């Protein structure tokens, strides 16, 4: 062996042992070589093809831009991209791409080494952690912080889309009495069941959150007041008819609701104040109803 051949052989063996393929791609987005990886993950048939023949156009455009930026900086870079399945959008695959420029060869396009790693599981775990941070653990609805963020976003959207939307607040009547007489577990069960009941009357686009204790909020997207009032009243009727379990007894509870619509120059605090005043109006009128504020 000539000096350096041993190092080259060692490097070649390491590359071949990698579980994920290593690509060599030129500045025009054409596969020059594929080495390493399992036989099913690094097909030799890629050689000679372009990124746009193998990947969706948006992904190929993004990766080609990253390759050229890596070459322009003459320094390694790391990118991530997502392969979204058209028939199963919830089964997206995520990949991490590590790009490193190769030495220039006279008369040849510039090239990069591209190490492709499947990071789908990591992304799924990250998503689960993000969801947990935004979710109320008892009811599995959005927590108060995220709900108020969504409400603020919806208010800001009005400047562009001018679509009507409403805010509905609901409180479980006599929840404190249930907690006192039957215990925290029974009260929590009623709150959890109420969240499930509310969901049954909502669309996928509507946003449900628990605002602490026995209070819930709903952002009814693209919904005028008359439709929103119909939704609130259906929830109130369904709640009054639904039996709730308690130790040794079956309870029939109700909700007091307050509804308001978006108005010009509204803020989160303004909408919450009107809806809460409407809840108080329902409670003063005997509960088991939805009032407008």
Residue 117 confidence class, pLDDT cut points 50, 70, 90: confident
SS3 category, 10? helix
Q: Do residues 284 and 185 both lie within one domain?
A: yes
Q: Do residues 178 and 221 both lie within one domain?
A: yes
Considering the chain, what is the average pLDDT of its residues?
87
Indicate which CATH number applies to the domain containing 191: 3.30.70.270
Tens of pLDDT, residues 206-252: 999 999 889 999 999 999 999 999 999 999 999 999 888 888 888 88
Residue 1 confidence class, pLDDT cut points 50, 70, 90: very low
Q: Do residues 109 and 192 both lie within one domain?
A: no
CA dihedral (220, 169, 234, 226) in degrees, to 10, reads -50
Q: Do residues 280 and 144 both lie within one domain?
A: yes
Q: Do residues 141 and 115 both lie within one domain?
A: no
Residue where a domain terminates, one of 97, 126, 155: 126
Domain that holds residue 54: 5-126
- Phi-psi region for residue 213, left (φ > 0), alpha (ψ -120 to 50) or beta? left
Q: Do residues 109 and 145 both lie within one domain?
A: no
Tell me, what's the pLDDT at 65?
A: 93
Q: Do residues 202 and 253 both lie within one domain?
A: yes
Give the bridge partners for 210, in sequence order.
216
Tell me, what's the pLDDT at 193?
A: 92
Domain count of the fold of the chain:
2
Residue 259 confidence class, pLDDT cut points 50, 70, 90: very high
**Largest alpha-carbon pair distance within the chain?**
95
Q: Do residues 156 and 285 both lie within one domain?
A: yes
Residue where a domain terminates, one of 126, 157, 174: 126
Rounded average pLDDT over 272-288:
96
The pTM of the whole model exceeds 0.85: no
CB proximity list for 20: less than 8 A, separation 6 or greater? 36, 37, 41, 42, 115, 116, 117, 118
């Amino acid at each position: 062996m000539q000096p350096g051949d041993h190092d080259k052989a060692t490097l070649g063996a390491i590359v071949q042992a990698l579980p994920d393929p290593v690509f060599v791609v030129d500045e025009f987005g054409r596969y020059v070589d594929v080495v390493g990886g399992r036989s099913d993950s690094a097909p030799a048939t890629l050689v000679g093809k372009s990124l746009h023949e193998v990947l969706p156009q948006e992904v190929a455009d993004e990766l080609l831009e990253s390759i050229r930026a890596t070459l322009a900086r003459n320094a390694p870079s790391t990118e991530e991209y997502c392969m979204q399945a058209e028939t199963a959008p919830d089964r997206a695959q995520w990949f991490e791409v590590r790009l490193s420029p190769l030495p220039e060869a006279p008369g040849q396009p510039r090239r990069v080494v591209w190490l492709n790693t499947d990071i789908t599981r990591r992304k799924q775990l990250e998503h689960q952690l993000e969801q947990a941070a935004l979710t109320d653990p008892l009811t599995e609805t959005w927590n108060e912080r995220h709900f108020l963020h969504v409400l603020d976003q919806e208010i800001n959207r009005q400047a562009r889309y001018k679509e009507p939307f409403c805010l509905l607040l609901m409180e479980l009547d006599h929840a404190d009495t249930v907690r006192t007489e039957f215990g925290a577990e029974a009260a929590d069960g009623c709150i959890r069941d109420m969240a499930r009941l509310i969901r049954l009357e909502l669309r996928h686009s509507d946003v449900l959150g628990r605002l602490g204790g026995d209070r819930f909020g709903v952002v009814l997207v693209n919904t005028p007041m008359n439709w929103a009032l119909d939704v609130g009243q259906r929830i109130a009727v369904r709640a009054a008819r639904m039996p709730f379990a308690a130790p040794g007894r079956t309870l029939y509870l109700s909700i007091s609701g307050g509804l308001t619509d978006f108005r010009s120059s509204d803020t989160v605090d303004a909408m919450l104040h009107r809806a809460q005043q409407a809840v108080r109006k329902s409670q003063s009128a005997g509960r088991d109803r939805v009032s407008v504020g």
